[in-house]
Structure 1
């Protein structure tokens, strides 16, 4: 041990510098390790890129490849089956797309048909309303004539006016293809156009019309109301 004070101070300073350098080296080493860990974690958390995914897919081994390691003929059959499965899946996808398209078109067609039915029904009602309106416009004229006939004096002869009104009414019915069913006495009974009310004694042949109780009407070959008649019976 040196008794020189100056030498002692120099040795102490040298030891202090050495300790400082060691601490700095340890700190740098720790920082580098932490940086490496962070970089490793960042790499681990990253999603695989498309290129990496494609490489992985390319590296996939098919069943036929595995079978080929043991039997080439069987591997060929397996490969053919794999190809057939791929074709069937493609056909299935195409059929499903076609079915979806047909279903969509069917729904549109059904909706269009329902709309058409509604429009046709509305149109029919409009035609019916207009036809009825036209008929009523002509019939009210007959009513006006009857009202005017009744407004005359009680002693007035209104027969001429009534006959004129009747002719006008018949003209309107004729324009609508309406015919009066008014059979002559002695005419054979038509069950579709005549309604027999009773049998009576008559000068007419047996089982023929004796008289018309109430005339009927038919329109476009359709009986609207059958004529009510009496039929002659055997005396």
Structure 2
């Protein structure tokens, strides 16, 4: 029969072995964790990478802003280019009309009519439209009344146009100079 002291001895051996196993595991775990210096070095490397990425993003943003400003500047500078190209056709037409030697009044009129058609096309292509307000109710945003005349039309109706008005893409470029019907 085993002696109780033997059991204690066996228990203490078991206990020492388990302590060694625990101590050995802790030692392995401690060895598997990087040292504080290694962790600091990795954090500094990661910080440097993030700083570099931030600097690159900042530089890209500045480049995009600069390119956008250049594009806006070019757009403002050359916005009239399309209209100018259309006006060259009008100028050519006028020069051809004037270049004809001994032209009759009818030929000159025909040349001027052609020039006017070319100018109207240029206006249309560029979004420039005439304001033709005869018979319309007076609108101070599109018309400028310079006189009121007696008329059988309702009061404040445009009855005469002295100078045509124009809009550019829906915005009034020049109001029409008009006479309106006077209230009776």
Normalized against structure 2, the TM-score is what? 0.61
Per-residue deviation, 1:103: 7.0
Q: 2: distance between equivalents of 1:108 and 1:213?
A: 62
Q: How far off its partner does 1:105 sit?
A: 5.5
> Counterpart of 1:115?
63
- CA–CA distance in 1 between the matches of 2:50 and 2:160? 68
Cα deviation, residue 115, structure 1: 2.1
What SS class does the counterpart of residue 232 from structure 1 fall into? strand
Mark the CA change 1:154 to 1:234 in structure 2 (over 3 Å): closer, same or farther.
Answer: farther
Answer yes or no: is 1:183 the counterpart of 2:133. yes
**Count, aligned residues:** 143
Corresponding residue number in structure 1 for 2:169? 220
Q: Distance in 1 between matches of 2:55 and 2:150?
A: 70
Query: In the alignment, is residue 174 of structure 1 matched against residue 128 of structure 2?
Result: no
Question: Can you give the 5+ residue segments of structure 1 that lack an aligned partner in the other structure?
Answer: 1-89
The CA distance in 2 between the partners of 1:117 and 1:202, in whole Å, is: 60
- Equivalent residue, structure 2, for 1:146: 94
The alpha-carbon distance between structure 1 residues 204 and 154, as it changes in their structure 2 partners (threshold 3 A), is farther
Helix, strand or coil at the partner of 1:125: helix
The structural deviation recorded for 1:192 is 2.1
Q: Structure 1 115/183 Cα, relative in aligned 2: closer, same or farther at 3 Å?
A: same
TM-score (normalised: structure 1): 0.49
Ranked by relative contact order (alpha carbons within 8 Å, sequence separation 6 or more), the top structure is: 2
Give ranges in structure 2 of 5+ residues lacking alignment: 1-38
Q: Name the counterpart of 2:112.
A: 162
Larger radius of gyration: 1
2:16: which partner in 1?
A: none
Distance in 2 between residues matched to 1:201 and 1:103, nearest whole Å: 79
1:219 CA displacement: 2.5
Are residues 1:230 and 2:179 paired?
yes
* Local SS of the residue matching 1:217: strand
For the 8 Å contact 2:144–2:175, the answer to whether it is kept is yes
Deviation at 1:207, TM superposition (A): 0.9
